[in-house]
Amino acid sequence: MTDVMTADSGIRVGVKQLAGNIGAEITGVDAARPLSDSVAAELREALLTHKVIFLRGQQLDYDQLVVFGRSFGDLTLGHPIYGGPEGRPLLREMDSKGEGTRANHWHADFTYMENPPAVAILHNTVCPPVGGDTIWANTAAAYQELSEGLRTLADGLRVVHSNDSDFTDATYTGDVRSSYLKNVFSAEHPAVRVHPETGERSLFVGGFARSVTGLGPQAGRDLLRVLVEHATKPEYTVRWKWQVGDLVLWDNRSTLHYAVHDYGDQHRRGERVTVAGTTTVGVDGRPGTVLRGNAEAFTAGSGSTM
């Protein structure tokens, strides 16, 4: 455990590393109160270092969650397809009794957009007594441990991401799937992304990755499978058992995550806001490009809390 006393507030922020390559628990922060610049900076540094950070015992309403999220940048709408609940446009409700909550497939959020969110912030309000954990993987650490040949190959790959993907096939059925695909988005991204803040290189793949530009369907899927299997080895992961009031932030630019669906018909609910991100950039400096769909309204939602 490391503690940092911030100069302007007297708050002692504790950072306890949870696994060898990813994850830290934060103490000493009340996310329901506006953050000072120094505390926000400490949290950002912990997030960039550990990729996902966890705060227990946080009680937040919608407005407080929005204020906290905006400490890290402009917020998007709750979802590019569904928007947000009435009166809470920046929120995505993750409710097992509603739509779109079974995310038991390795993915980063909204990578089918040209500029996926930089950071996701999820507040737990209901969790089952057993099950429903979430696992995160550090794709920057995974990239560093690729063999030299595979790393060189990955550096030059471009990957097409779409919401019409393996993630959708694995997590949606029937009318829910049809609703999710009423607007199809796709974008081409580098398979290795250069982080806009740290300069780290990370594998940018996951469940929305559909094909590899220039390769046939089978070859592309085989190569994507190899990269995802490598990135999600246990050595690069941390697993979190949720409690009511947990607040979790993850760097969507350098992680994948998987929501374990082992809780049957038990109720599970969380509320998420996402921080707007930038267009991806590859090792060669080429940016990601939009192929289909217009997500301007998704990022334009950052100016309103109501």
At a CB cut-off of 8 Å and minimum separation 6, what does 105 contact?
Answer: 166, 167, 170, 171, 207, 258
Annotated active-site positions, please? 107, 109, 257, 272
How does strand 24-27 pair with strand 52-55? Answer: parallel
> pLDDT by residue for the chain (306 residues), tens digit each?
676 555 455 678 999 999 999 999 999 999 999 999 999 999 999 999 999 999 999 999 999 999 999 999 999 999 998 889 999 999 999 998 876 567 899 999 999 999 999 999 999 999 999 999 999 999 999 999 999 999 999 999 999 999 999 888 888 878 888 888 888 999 999 999 999 999 999 999 999 999 999 999 999 999 999 999 999 999 999 999 999 999 999 999 999 999 999 999 999 999 999 999 999 999 999 999 999 998 888 886 554 433
The number of folded domains in the chain is: 1
Domain hosting 29: range is 2-303
Quick one: tokens of 160? Answer: 């097409």
CA distance to 160, 175, 178, per residue, from 181 (Å): 17, 10, 5
Cβ–Cβ under 8 Å, residues 107 and 207? yes
Nearest CA to 258 among 167, 128, 189?
Answer: 167
Rounded to 10 deg, the angle between the 217-231 and 148-155 helix axes is 120
**What CATH number has the domain bearing residue 41?**
3.60.130.10
